[in-house]
Amino acid sequence: MPKKAIYYDTETTGLKPDRDRIVEIAAYDPIEDRSFVTLVNPMMPIPEESTRVTGITDEMVKEAPTFAQAGQDFIDFCKGDVILIAHNGDSFDKLFLINECKRENLTYPNFPHIDSLKWARKYRPDLPKHPLQYLREVYQIEANNAHRALDDVIILHKIFSTMIGDLPLEEVYLLLYQQTDAALPRVMPFGKHRGEALETLPKSYRAWFCQSGALDKPENAALKQSFDKLGLCNL
């Protein structure tokens, strides 16, 4: 069965995943036509500049669940054979979700992710820019309440569905992230084993590295493919 798309978005107190917090999460399942949205109490004051962008105030999140509950509810909503899709997700939303889960000792599933911003930049180089609202205008999609999570998610679904046409999500993912075997790294590119062949890495180091979360970082996507192809995390 083909993977199912779950479109998602987060609103936050700022731009730093290691310092700022999520204040709203939304997701949309277009196959079952169901949505998820919740405000999140970040347990910190929301900066004025964030409120100016999102419209979300301290008063609005005062009685909202913390991420411990909201994050688990989001994960439960996304269960199944899914691919998560967000605009600038690899550099923003995904990182916030992973960091918030670590803070709350939640297990974040190894969902495959598609960053629609990367897709737009790669396959619409004719456009001068690729923000979500600009793409909305290009594809002549009606205006929405920009910078509120669920509204942005619904717009993203309409835009991305138009961009990829009838391409299966699995093919979209491969076109965006997969590299040929010849292009994949064969030696460790950093760390104390830098320059060593991946197959010769000590078992204890491989176990630690695979569990550290480093392979989930967007910049290590090619390295993750090498580890997967060589079975280096199958300890």
- How does residue 146 score in pLDDT terms, banded at 50, 70 and 90? low
| 14/171 Cα distance (integer angstroms) | 33
User: What is the helix (H) or strand (E) element at residue 38, kind and residue range?
Assistant: strand 34-39
Total tally of structural domains belonging to the chain: 2
CATH number of the domain that residue 35 is part of: 3.30.420.10
Same domain flag for 35 and 69: yes
| 44/23 Cα distance (integer angstroms) | 10
Looking at every residue in the chain, the average pLDDT score rounds to 92
Report yes or no on 196 lying in a domain: yes
Same domain flag for 48 and 150: yes
Mark whether 147 is an active-site residue: yes
* Tokens describing residue 81: 């054979």
CA distances for 118 relative to 43, 80, 123, 199, angstroms: 32, 24, 9, 31
What domain range is 208 assigned to? 181-230
Same domain flag for 172 and 215: no
Per residue in 13-40, pLDDT (tens digit) is 999 999 999 999 999 999 999 999 999 9
Same domain flag for 205 and 94: no
Report yes or no on 134 lying in a domain: yes
Same domain flag for 99 and 198: no
pLDDT recorded at residue 130: 96
Catalytic residue among 87, 113, 147, 157: 147
Same domain flag for 138 and 199: no
| 146/48 Cα distance (integer angstroms) | 17
Structure-token match 């046409």, residue found = 165
- How does residue 119 score in pLDDT terms, banded at 50, 70 and 90? very high
Per residue in 156-202, pLDDT (tens digit) is 999 999 999 999 998 898 888 876 666 778 899 999 999 999 989 99
Same domain flag for 172 and 187: no
Same domain flag for 152 and 209: no
Given 3-state DSSP classes, what are the helix, strand and coil percentages for the chain, each rounded to the nearest 5? 45, 15, 40
pLDDT recorded at residue 231: 87
pTM (2 d.p.): 0.77
Q: Write down how long the chain is.
A: 235
Same domain flag for 68 and 150: yes
